Amino acid sequence: AKTALYMVHTYVAPHPKANPNNIRKVEKMYVDVAREIGATVLPVGLAFEESYKRRPELRLHSQQDGSHPSVYGTYLAACVVYAKIYNKSPVGSSYDIHGQIPGDVKEFLQLVAWEVTQKNSN
């Protein structure tokens, strides 16, 4: 068994603590702790950041609070966990949360998850 740390995503508007710089603080904390204890980082927060850079219109957070993930955010997080734990690409998976994720969105989130996990080897 190996310890894995699930790097959280950060707040977005309308959350009062939303700040685009928060992800750097979160990233540093998770990477530092992972190095200290010999753990793997599941870079969910970095995948959210990358997804928003590429497709800012795609809502990964609940519009009500800017804190909790939407169904798309949950799907992206699951793809990151799968990719990191199994070191396999989620690209091509047919799972779409029982039709809740359109094909183009599904493929995009799978690709982001794979690329982010490959870039972040902690």
Per-residue pLDDT reduced to its tens digit, 22-52: 999 999 999 999 999 999 999 999 999 999 9
The Cα–Cα gap between 12 and 41 comes to 22
The Cα–Cα gap between 16 and 13 comes to 7
Asked whether the beta carbons of 49 and 23 are under 8 A apart, the reply is: yes
Report pLDDT for 68. Answer: 96
- Determine the average pLDDT of the residues in 62-86: 96
Give the pLDDT band (50/70/90) at residue 120: confident
| pLDDT above 90 as % of the chain | 96
Give the pLDDT band (50/70/90) at residue 13: very high
Asked whether the beta carbons of 73 and 48 are under 8 A apart, the reply is: yes
The Cα–Cα gap between 5 and 109 comes to 20
Q: Is the peptide bond before 56 cis (omega within 30 degrees of 0)?
A: no
- Determine the average pLDDT of the residues in 53-73: 96
Model confidence at 121: pLDDT above 80: no
- Determine the average pLDDT of the residues in 75-94: 97
Model confidence at 64: pLDDT above 80: yes
Q: Which residue has the higher pLDDT, 1 or 73?
A: 73
